[in-house]
């Protein structure tokens, strides 16, 4: 971490009564910085607002949140900015009335992947952990992420870049920190996220870029092995082709390549030549 | 909050990189203090150990955790002590390897309920929020508590003490911060907690006190209205009879009264005369 700001003030310490610390009672977003600017900031602001509404968070001053994200993006060598909106301090217990909110903004130097990785693709495994269904939280990027942490712990082997998570119906939902797309012939599909998963900002950009050519639908995990192409989307790493899922190897990266050409320049991410 | 300790040192501030703050990546327990001593401390230590094992947390020095809980309990006017074991600081992202853990101990002055409440019982509502099924987390008191927070927000009316949560099968699981028991004639039942819910330390004490007379089983939410008696268990508030669930009134408190007589003196909680 390069720097952190709490309610606009530089700081490295948070009051111990903060509800994000006690209960994960927060929402967040993580954005890419390119040339000192926050990429796709409007969309990140929208997703923070939606998540706050979904969790009945206190009102935030959105112009302050936006300004702070922009200032963090201008921090020397910032490559990633994370904004956490916590419900703030509160009394002990789940009752969250009278909380006034706290803005936490972080600048990180975290690097992108090598161009070679974008050319070659990454290897995924299927997580043993099954995502729970919670329509009240689905789609939102909130601060309760133990499922993703447990699934990521399954990737301790040296080759797995990430794990594909599925739900109790056996439908693929996402990777732990990316949305997933599968192409079958001319048809690109991505899972619906009304029961679990996070509707990523990069996912929206991919949907826009493919303009109506993507079907949001149930995708049985097994059917991923019959896809012609698989790729991930994430705001920090952009579009990442998948080379292998478990023992199955994919050889096509056509759609992912087109999306990298369309989206990566403005993110300052590599476009494999 | 009266006081807080971080890794044994008095403090009111936590480093901003703590994973409990970012992801709810933590476990916790909340215990009652009576006469300067932590009540049921062995059981609280056991539940912390179990939750840490379930989440593959870093190794904690359990004698330190225990000592710190005891010291916090001896703090002047402490009535409640909370212990959070966080995965500690880590790099950005869900990958939690190389985290070394952090102990957070809090002393609170939070009061018990009036004796009158133990005599009369409390009024509950049924939560609209449906608990998700997550066997990997069920039973554990972990730091992802947005479901409980959302359900508690439903209790904004002035009369609801808490809400009864059920799962997607329509089975009652618990209140937001207490386990639940229902007596039908001579048979006491409490929900199994293998898919959702938290297996409370007080719940174990009630199961022991009723020595084999309790059946752990599925309890359809609707069937609670046919119970002769309903009561809650929680380590801070002990056994609390339920007077009303929604529009349904309970008139019997026989089992709850016996449990209060058995358990409350050692907790320093009222026994209605």
Cβ contact, residue pair A21, B21, below 8 Å: yes
Distance (Å, whole) CA A211 – CA B63: 59
In this prediction, residue A127 carries a pLDDT of 97
Q: Which residues are bridge partners to B124 per DSSP? A: B162, B245
Distance (Å, whole) CA A183 – CA A189: 6
B211 touches chain A (CB under 8 A): no
Tokens of A75: 């921090």
Other beta carbons within 10 Å of A228? 17
- Specify the length of chain A in residues: 273
Contact B121, B243 (CB under 8 A): yes
User: Coil, helix or strand for B72?
Assistant: helix
Residue A110 scores a pLDDT above 80: no
A145 touches chain B (CB under 8 A): yes
Burial of A266 (0-12, 13-18, 19+ CB in 10 A): middle
Instruction: For chain B, 273 residues long, give each residue's pLDDT as a single digit of tens.
Output: 999 999 999 999 999 999 999 999 999 999 999 999 999 999 999 999 999 999 999 999 999 999 999 999 999 999 999 999 999 998 778 988 888 999 999 999 977 789 999 999 999 999 999 999 999 999 999 999 999 999 999 998 888 999 999 999 999 999 999 999 999 999 999 999 999 999 999 999 999 999 889 999 999 999 999 999 999 999 999 999 999 999 999 999 999 999 999 999 999 999 998
Provide the 8-state DSSP code for B89: B
For A140, the closest chain B residue by CA position comes to B146
In this prediction, residue A92 carries a pLDDT of 79
Contact A28, A4 (CB under 8 A): no
Contact B83, B104 (CB under 8 A): yes
User: Coil, helix or strand for A148?
Assistant: helix
Provide the 8-state DSSP code for A4: E
Q: What is the ipTM of this complex?
A: 0.97
What average pLDDT score do residues A187-216 get? 97
- Specify the length of chain B in residues: 273
Cβ contact, residue pair B24, A28, below 8 Å: no
Cβ contact, residue pair B24, A24, below 8 Å: yes
Where is B6: in which H helix or E strand?
strand B3-6
Contact B85, B65 (CB under 8 A): yes
Query: Which of A18, A24, A95 lies closest to B143 in CB terms?
Result: A24
Sign of CA dihedral B231, B233, B236, B238: positive
For B133, the closest chain A residue by CA position comes to A132
Distance (Å, whole) CA B177 – CA B201: 12
Instruction: Quote the radius of gyration of chain B (alpha carbons, Å).
Output: 19
Show residues of chain A in contact with B174, CB under 8 Å: none
Cβ contact, residue pair B147, A133, below 8 Å: no
In this prediction, residue B93 carries a pLDDT of 86
Sign of CA dihedral A132, A135, A137, A140: positive
Q: Which residues contact A114 (CB under 8 A, 6 or more apart)?
A: A270
B252 touches chain A (CB under 8 A): no
Residues 58 to 97 of A: which have CB under 8 A from any B CB?
80, 82, 84, 86-87, 92-97
Query: Which of A16, A132, A148 lies closest to B134 in CB terms?
Result: A132
Contact A47, A29 (CB under 8 A): yes
**Confidence band for A113, pLDDT divided at 50, 70 and 90:** confident
Nearest CA-CA distance, residue A133 and chain B, Å: 6
| Alpha-helix residue ranges (DSSP H) falling in A96-251 | 115-120, 146-153, 201-209
Q: In chain A, helix, strand, coil percent, each to 5?
A: 25, 35, 40
Per-position b or e across B90-124, b if 16+ CB within 10 A of its CB: bebbbbbeebebbbbbbbbebebeeeebbbebbbb
Indicate whether this model's pTM tops 0.90.
yes
Cβ contact, residue pair A146, B137, below 8 Å: yes
Distance (Å, whole) CA B61 – CA B72: 17
**Confidence band for A57, pLDDT divided at 50, 70 and 90:** very high
A179 touches chain B (CB under 8 A): no
B134 touches chain A (CB under 8 A): yes
Contact B19, B93 (CB under 8 A): no
Distance (Å, whole) CA B137 – CA A82: 27
Cβ contact, residue pair B94, A176, below 8 Å: yes
Cβ contact, residue pair A25, B146, below 8 Å: yes
Cβ contact, residue pair B16, A13, below 8 Å: yes
Distance (Å, whole) CA A74 – CA A76: 6
Nearest CA-CA distance, residue B65 and chain A, Å: 17
Cβ contact, residue pair A22, B18, below 8 Å: no
Whose CA is closest to B197, among B181, B213, B215? B181
**Confidence band for A180, pLDDT divided at 50, 70 and 90:** very high
Contact B206, B239 (CB under 8 A): yes
Contact A146, A183 (CB under 8 A): no
End-to-end CA distance of chain B: 32
What average pLDDT score do residues A205-230 get? 96
Cβ contact, residue pair A146, B23, below 8 Å: yes
Cβ contact, residue pair A14, B21, below 8 Å: yes
Distance (Å, whole) CA A192 – CA A199: 9
B23 touches chain A (CB under 8 A): yes
Distance (Å, whole) CA A104 – CA A20: 11
Tokens of B60: 């904690």
Instruction: Quote the radius of gyration of chain A (alpha carbons, Å).
Output: 19
Query: Which of B14, B55, B87 lies closest to A14 in CB terms?
Result: B14
Show residues of chain B in contact with A96, CB under 8 Å: 149, 152-153
């Amino acid at each position: 971490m390069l720097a952190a700001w709490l309610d606009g003030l530089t700081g490295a310490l948070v009051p111990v009564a903060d509800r994000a610390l006690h209960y994960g009672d927060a929402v967040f977003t993580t954005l890419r910085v390119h040339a000192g600017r926050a990429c796709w900031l409007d969309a990140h602001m929208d997703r923070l607002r939606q998540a706050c509404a979904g969790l009945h968070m206190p009102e935030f001053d959105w112009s302050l949140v936006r300004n702070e994200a922009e200032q963090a993006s201008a921090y020397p060598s910032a490559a990633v900015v994370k904004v956490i909106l916590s419900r703030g301090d509160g009394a002990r217990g789940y009752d969250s009335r009278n909380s006034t909110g706290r803005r936490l903004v972080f600048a990180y130097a975290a690097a992108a992947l090598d161009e070679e990785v974008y050319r070659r693709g990454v290897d995924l495994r299927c997580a043993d952990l099954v995502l729970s269904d919670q329509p009240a939280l689905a789609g939102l990027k909130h601060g309760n992420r133990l499922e993703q942490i447990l699934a990521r712990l399954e990737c301790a082997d040296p080759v797995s870049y990430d794990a594909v998570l599925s739900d109790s119906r056996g439908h693929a939902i996402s990777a732990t920190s990316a949305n997933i797309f599968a192409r079958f012939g001319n048809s690109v599909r991505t899972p619906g996220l009304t029961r679990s998963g996070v509707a990523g900002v990069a996912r929206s950009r991919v949907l826009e870029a493919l303009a109506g050519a993507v079907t949001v639908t149930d995708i049985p995990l097994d059917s991923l092995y019959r896809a012609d192409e698989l790729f991930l989307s994430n705001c920090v790493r952009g579009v990442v082709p998948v080379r292998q899922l478990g023992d199955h190897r994919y050889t096509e990266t056509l759609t992912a390549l087109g999306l990298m050409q369309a989206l990566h320049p403005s993110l300052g991410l590599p476009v494999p030549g």
